[in-house]
Every structure is written in structure tokens, then in C-alpha cells.
Structure 1
Amino acid sequence: MEDKVKAKVENSLSVLLVSDLEKSMKYYEDALGCEVNEHWAVRDNFGLGFKLIQAKDIEDVRPNKGSWNTYAYVKTHTELEALYLELKTNGAIIASEPKVSEQDWGSWKDFSVRDLDGYVIGFGSGNKND
């Protein structure tokens, strides 16, 4: 059987329909530290990325209920704490404060922020060490 070459996916984006594109773009830039243009809102070289689209109707803006819309991995607990402090200082809406949960394999620490339309972005790390 012939070995197939598997193409590599470099990154992915969450597509979010927003109620006010200009306000959302400003929030993602100022509060979340994203580089924002007419196509994307990204940070850390597409480590976190969004495609923000103006909703035609407010009913089209539908954040997940009781869950995240996006979840991003951060390498260490130290970096996660630094990110939390950065976002909080920049005015991000904190949905949940950092918390640690113990697992069989170690500890997981996470927190989340909410955008202006209620979309929740979670950040987590399973590595205590730097």
C-alpha cells in the first residue's frame, strides 16, 4: 500500500458573528491583544485567531450556552497567569477567574474571558513547570 502524504494544517480560526463589528474589532485589539484588520483578529502568530463578521440580524449572534466558543492552550501555569493579568489589566471581561483542578495526570489551570457579544474564550494549561 502506498504511503499517503498528509498535508499540515497550520492554524484554525473561530468564526464569530458579532452585533457591532467596529466595537468588536476594538475590543479584540485593546482588551485581548490581537492584531486586527478587516479579515482577522489574531494574536501570537495565529496561536489564537478569529474571523469577526458583522451579523445581518441580532438573532444571528449566538454564543454557546454554558460553554466556551473557543479554547486556547497556554504552555505553562506561569504563562497562563501572566496572560490573565495582561488581559484583566487591558480591560477584558473576565468570565471565570483562574482555577486549578487536580487530575490523575497532574493539574489543569484555566480561566476565561467574554467578549462584547457574550462569546467565551477559555485559556488553559496542564503544565506547572516553565
Structure 2
Amino acid sequence: MNIQDVNGPSVVLLVRNEQEAINYYTDLGFKFESVGGHAHMSLGKVTLILHQAQNPDEVKPFSSASGGLYFDVFCYTSQLKELHELFISKGVMVVNGPFWGEGWSEFTIKDLNGYCIAFGGK
């Protein structure tokens, strides 16, 4: 079997205020689509599904856990510098990097719910 047409995963993010999160990601260039009553925010082949938390205290990004990685979502891109410039122009909090190298470059942003989203590429 040779399966080639599988796109990047959709990641569910539990958020404190769905509309605020939609506005935040839309401002960064993500496209909003309501699918089955869920807010899908897409940028290229990355889709973040925003899900309203019933209790805002339950929003706990993996990256904030002791022993967790420094990111909750990792996105690969060939347009890293352009994304970095866009995010900086929007006042986004960069919490890691940018690290520019010949073989690999990356940076990480933190959104309004505390999720750390890393972007990296060659």
C-alpha cells in the first residue's frame, strides 16, 4: 500500500474564550472555518481546532507541564523568515529563538491561552 495523500494533523486546543482565540489567529493570517460546530483555524496545511473549555482553569498547555516540551504544536515551513516578520509586526510573543542556521532554523510563539507553537524549517 502506498498512501501519499495524508495532510498534516489537526490539533485540538482547549481555549478559555473561543471568539478571542478565533480573532487572535485570524489576525495572524489563519483562515477561519466552522466545521461541525468547531472553529477550524488553518494556515497552509496546519489546522488548529479551537474548543471552548467549560472551565477556563482547565486550559493547561502541555508545554507548561513539568517535563513537557517547549512547544505544544510544531509546524514545518519553508517561509520561516516571512512568518517571523509577520508575527513580530503583529506583536506576537516570541518565547524561543529565532535561531537561524544553514541546516535548520526555528522560533516559537506563545498564544493568548499559553500554547507554544514552534515553526521550523531548512
**TM-score, normalised relative to structure 1:** 0.77
- 1:70 lines up with 2:59 in the alignment: no
The answer as to whether partners of 1:12 and 1:49 remain within 8 angstroms in 2 is yes
Specify the alignment match of 1:90 in structure 2: 90
Specify the alignment match of 2:110 in structure 1: 114
Specify the alignment match of 1:29 in structure 2: 26
Where do 1:38-57 residues align within 5 Å? 38=34, 39-44=39-44, 47-57=45-55
Deviation readout 1:40-89 (Å, 9 max, x if unpaired): 00012xx22100000011232110124211101112xxx21111001111
Q: CA deviation at 1:92?
A: 1.9
State the superposition RMSD in angstroms: 1.9
Specify the alignment match of 1:18 in structure 2: 15
Q: Work out the percentage of aligned pairs sharing the same amino acid.
A: 26
In structure 2, runs of 5+ residues without a counterpart are none
Name the count of aligned residue pairs: 113
The structure whose Rg is larger is 1
**Matched position secondary structure for 1:85:** helix
Specify the alignment match of 1:81 in structure 2: 81
**Matched position secondary structure for 1:33:** coil
Structure 1 segments of 4+ aligned residues over 4 angstroms from their partners? none
